[in-house]
């Protein structure tokens, strides 16, 4: 009976894919939802690909899943991934459907799933992945994710015992996952720019998980990312099996130490979080059995989609959109750090207020006190315009961070921010936006461009 339901569900889902595509839409969510409606055990019953790889974590999972898929496809492997769809149960089910033919036979070499970390409890036990890649667990949406310990507990409970984990040795939460599973670690060794004490407001996991003592760091990159050790009980971060030793930004190479052998790869992005993303891809390829030479060839063919930055230059004035994910203090602090370090006098427009909450609610804005607004206390930042319904909250936060009140401006409508710019004193315009305010940031950019073109 269950098999019959499974086949009916598969046929219905396949038909829906044809229909949805005829309507010109991405058939990424609904086919999975239909299949699950007919056969709730679809994910469990469906045959799996010879290699099933799941990617999860707070930041970087989309990038890693896409890079990995691209690498495998460039090796002429037949691979499906949920890159166009959702990363919760229906989206992952659709991906599974795409790996099967109408008779329910698996027709791909591998499936790559980007898995929402909170939804992983409904996905991992049924997909039974061969590999689970986890880049990091940071603070994320308070409403949805609670806190990283809660997400850790979900992954630790629901990841099958025979899944091999590929983990970030430099991140002390996710690297403690499933201690009895087969695990390998990647990491970036000590770099010249590293610190030994955190300069960020938020540094979770800075005390020993074994004895509670404050941890020391051989090196600390940002927040709690680094190599930690406990002077009391001897606990320390995992040593990386795949350790990036040299990041050569001039020659765009990344040297990785593997089993005592130096392997040189192309550096596909010089931003630190993307180097972690690349390292997790290299580690996964090597774990899949690729030789260094083959892995090198595949990595040479992949490109990191840099959707976080978008730059135009009008009459010599750069106008830069920077993604600064709301509720995500690490993402936002990284963005603030990047903007504050850029050369030249600038105006920064903050357009990160939640898109949904403004309609019928009052956004809980407490997360901005986890973000390093202190980075904006630089002489090169000439104006900061807090734009959106929570503009006064940003103003209070900026003042408490020590930013001079005379450079802070506020407006309730994001696009009105452009009217407040004092063009005399700036060389560049930075627009910081949330995932859901991208369109508003584009409207701001358009208005800025219009002004700059008019000023020609």
Partner 1 sequence: MIIELLYPRMCCLYGDKGNTIFLQKCFPDAEFVFTELNDKPYFLDNNVDLCCMYSMSEPNQEKALERLMPLKEELKEAFENSNTQFLFLGNSMELLGKYIETEDGYKIDALDVLDIYSVRHAPKRFNSLIRAKMEDITLIGYTSRFSDTFGITEELALCKNDVGLGSDAKSNLEGILTKNIIGTYLLGPLLPSNPDFAKWLIKRLGIESPTLPHEDVLYTCYKTKLNEYNIPDLELN
Q: Is 404 in the site for partner 1 (CB under 8 A)?
A: no
Q: Is 399 in the site for partner 1 (CB under 8 A)?
A: yes
State the minimum distance, in angstroms, from the CB of residue 314 to partner 1.
33
State the minimum distance, in angstroms, from the CB of residue 147 to partner 1.
5
Task: Specify the residue, 107 or 399, whose C-beta has the smaller distance to partner 1.
Answer: 399
Q: Long-range contact list for 154-161, CB < 8 A, 24+ apart?
A: 154/117, 154/118, 154/120, 154/121, 155/56, 155/117, 155/120, 155/124, 157/121, 158/120, 158/121, 158/124, 158/125, 159/120, 159/124, 159/132, 160/124, 160/125, 160/128, 160/129
CA distances from 198 to 151, 184, 202, 216 (A): 24, 26, 8, 10
Residues 6+ apart with CB under 8 A from 45: 2, 3, 6, 39
Q: Is 143 in the site for partner 1 (CB under 8 A)?
A: yes
Backbone angles phi, psi at 223, to 5 degrees: 45, -120
Q: How many CA atoms lie within 13 A of 87 on its CB side?
A: 20
Q: Is 211 in the site for partner 1 (CB under 8 A)?
A: yes
State the minimum distance, in angstroms, from the CB of residue 385 to partner 1.
15
**Interface pick for partner 1 out of 47, 50, 344, 366 (rule CB under 8 A):** 366
Q: Choose among 121, 89, 117: nearest CA to 174.
A: 117
Q: Are 422 and 383 in contact (CB under 8 A)?
A: yes
Q: Are 108 and 80 in contact (CB under 8 A)?
A: yes
State the minimum distance, in angstroms, from the CB of residue 149 to partner 1.
4
Task: Specify the residue, 106 or 122, whose C-beta has the smaller distance to partner 1.
Answer: 122
Helix (H, G, I), strand (E, B) or coil at 311: strand
**Interface pick for partner 1 out of 25, 37, 41, 147 (rule CB under 8 A):** 147
* Total Cβ atoms within 10 A of residue 147: 12
Q: Is 201 in the site for partner 1 (CB under 8 A)?
A: yes
Binding-site size for partner 1 (CB under 8 A) equals 40
**Interface pick for partner 1 out of 158, 235, 292, 369 (rule CB under 8 A):** 369
The CA distance from 241 to 368, in Å, is 36
**Interface pick for partner 1 out of 41, 214, 341, 425 (rule CB under 8 A):** 214
Q: Is 362 in the site for partner 1 (CB under 8 A)?
A: yes
Q: Is 370 in the site for partner 1 (CB under 8 A)?
A: yes
Q: Is 146 in the site for partner 1 (CB under 8 A)?
A: yes
For partner 1, which stretch binds (CB under 8 A), given 159-167, 204-212, 236-244, 318-326?
Answer: 204-212
The CA distance from 217 to 196, in Å, is 5
Q: Is 364 in the site for partner 1 (CB under 8 A)?
A: yes
State the minimum distance, in angstroms, from the CB of residue 153 to partner 1.
8
Q: Is 389 in the site for partner 1 (CB under 8 A)?
A: yes
State the minimum distance, in angstroms, from the CB of residue 362 to partner 1.
5
Q: Is 125 in the site for partner 1 (CB under 8 A)?
A: no
With tokens 């010089």, the residue in question is: 270
CA distances from 234 to 213, 221, 225, 446 (A): 10, 21, 19, 55
For partner 1, which stretch binds (CB under 8 A), given 75-83, 137-145, 347-355, 429-437?
Answer: 137-145
* Residues binding partner 1 (CB under 8 A): 139, 142-143, 146-150, 153, 201-204, 206-207, 211-214, 357, 360-362, 364-370, 389, 392-393, 395-397, 399-401, 405
């Amino acid at each position: 009976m269950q098999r019959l339901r499974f086949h009916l569900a598969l046929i219905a889902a396949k038909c829906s894919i044809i229909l949805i595509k005829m309507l010109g839409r991405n058939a990424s969510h609904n086919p999975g939802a239909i299949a699950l409606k007919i056969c709730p055990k679809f994910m469990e019953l469906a045959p799996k690909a010879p290699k099933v790889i799941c990617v999860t974590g707070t930041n970087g999972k989309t990038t890693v899943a896409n890079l990995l898929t691209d690498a495998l496809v460039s090796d002429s492997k037949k691979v499906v991934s949920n890159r166009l769809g959702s990363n919760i149960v229906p989206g992952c089910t659709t991906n599974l459907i795409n790996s099967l033919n109408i008779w329910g036979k698996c027709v791909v070499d591998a499936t790559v799933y980007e898995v929402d970390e909170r939804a992983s409890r409904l996905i991992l036990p049924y997909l039974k992945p061969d590999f689970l890649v986890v880049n990091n667990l940071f603070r994320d949406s308070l409403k949805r994710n609670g806190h990283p310990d809660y997400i850790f507990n979900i992954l630790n409970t629901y990841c099958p015992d025979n899944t091999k984990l590929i983990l970030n040795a430099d991140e002390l939460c996710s690297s403690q996952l499933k201690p009895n599973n087969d695990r390998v670690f990647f990491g970036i060794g000590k770099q010249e720019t590293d610190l030994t004490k955190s300069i960020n407001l938020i540094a979770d996991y800075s005390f020993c998980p074994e004895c509670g003592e404050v941890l020391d760091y051989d090196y600390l990159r940002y927040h709690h990312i680094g190599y930690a050790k406990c002077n009391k009980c001897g606990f320390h971060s995992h040593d990386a099996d795949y350790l990036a030793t040299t990041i050569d930004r001039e020659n765009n190479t990344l040297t990785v130490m593997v089993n005592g052998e130096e392997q040189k790869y192309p550096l596909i992005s010089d931003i630190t979080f993307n180097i972690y993303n690349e390292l997790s891809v290299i580690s996964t390829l090597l774990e899949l059995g690729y030789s260094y030479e083959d892995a090198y060839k595949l990595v040479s063919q992949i490109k990191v989609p840099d959707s976080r930055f978008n730059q135009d230059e009008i009459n010599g004035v750069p106008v830069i959109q920077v993604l600064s994910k709301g509720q995500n203090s690490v993402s936002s602090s990284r963005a603030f750090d990047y903007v504050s370090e850029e050369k030249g006098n600038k105006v920064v427009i903050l357009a990160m207020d939640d898109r949904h909450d403004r309609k019928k609610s009052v956004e809980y804005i407490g997360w901005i006190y986890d973000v390093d607004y202190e980075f904006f206390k630089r002489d090169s930042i000439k104006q900061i315009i807090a734009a959106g319904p929570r503009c006064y909250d940003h103003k209070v936060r900026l003042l408490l961070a020590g930013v001079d009140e005379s450079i802070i401006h506020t407006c309730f409508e994001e696009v009105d921010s452009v009217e407040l710019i004092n063009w005399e004193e700036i060389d560049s315009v930075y627009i910081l936006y949330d995932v859901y305010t991208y369109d508003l940031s584009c409207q701001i950019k358009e208005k800025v461009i219009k002004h700059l073109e008019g000023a020609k």
